[in-house]
Amino acid sequence: MLQSLTKINFLLSISARSFSLQMNSSKRFKRIAPKRNKSVRLSQSCNDSERCANKSSKSVIVRTRTTPRHNQTLPQPKLKIQSSLVSDPCFRDTTILPHDFFQIDALDLAPRLLGKFLRRDDVVLQITEVEAYRPNDSACHGRFGITPRTAPVFGPGGNAYVYLCYGLHTMLNVVADKEGVGAAVLIRACAPVCGLETIQQRRGQQTEKPILLTGPGKVGQALGISTEWSYHPLYTPGGLELLDGPEPDKILIGPRVGIEYALPEHVNALWRFAIADTPWISAPKNTLRPP
């Protein structure tokens, strides 16, 4: 496992002076990861006790749990995550990005998210590809205004917006800009940094190849999140966090994927951003070019 992660980090080819991505203690992460009982494992889309409790449509998960819910509190896993942060040299210097970081135009935020880290439990992913969705954008979910589904998009920047696509895939967005604006950045692809075994388990694929994490639905699955994670603040410790990371040397830009229904000006807008020289990019790759 150590060998494979080292290989993956090599492939990233990012200047990471202050970020040693070497994983010299993978087994420690495994030990620190909160244990899940069988019922939770069945649905990896909901491992968070508070969210499961609020779940209505997927109450099957709640019913099948063996541990009484009221015995589980949020601070416990939070502390464990903190201890792993301190004890592992890999992430000693990393910091959670502050609330202010996200209060900008999605078009500015999107490229700035490249190279940053998403962390949940023992899983750490590095963001390699994103898309910006903005106000007055005929491809943005916010185009319908504030609805039950899209309300999170109009929340303050730094929250998560998770939606279900094709009834199957959970898509993670980082809400951008001020409250009420209605902008977000879709995470389209990541590279694995820590917790490879958990990622593979959640994905159901025993591979280290880019097929593991190159696609927005794959990222959501690897992080084990559901739509219940909408509104979750990424700038506070616990749950899902966005950590600072190295700025990529070179990036690529291109038109966004799968928005043929939008107006031509938005279909053609170059609002897709990716790290150059990494294999962790989703399809299609041939529409990406240097700026």
Residues that bind DNA (CB under 7 A): 57, 131, 133, 139-142, 144, 147-150, 153, 163-169, 171, 173, 184, 186, 203, 205, 211, 215-218, 227, 256-261, 282
Question: Does residue 241 contact residue 118 with C-beta atoms inside 8 Å?
Answer: yes
> Which is nearer to DNA, 51 or 203 (by Cβ)?
203
> Which is nearer to DNA, 167 or 290 (by Cβ)?
167
> Which is nearer to DNA, 95 or 206 (by Cβ)?
206
Helix (H, G, I), strand (E, B) or coil at 224: coil
Angle between helices 216-223 and 196-203 (to 10 degrees): 110
> Which is nearer to DNA, 32 or 172 (by Cβ)?
172
Helix (H, G, I), strand (E, B) or coil at 191: strand
**Longest CA–CA separation in the chain, Å:** 53
> Which is nearer to DNA, 47 or 150 (by Cβ)?
150
Residue 18 beta carbon to DNA: minimum distance, rounded to whole angstroms = 30
Listed residue (287, 193, 234, 223) closest to 96, CA to CA? 234
Residue 237 DSSP code: S
Residue 251 beta carbon to DNA: minimum distance, rounded to whole angstroms = 19
Residue 278 beta carbon to DNA: minimum distance, rounded to whole angstroms = 16
Residue 266 beta carbon to DNA: minimum distance, rounded to whole angstroms = 11
Listed residue (125, 128, 40, 114) closest to 77, CA to CA? 40
Residue 220 beta carbon to DNA: minimum distance, rounded to whole angstroms = 8
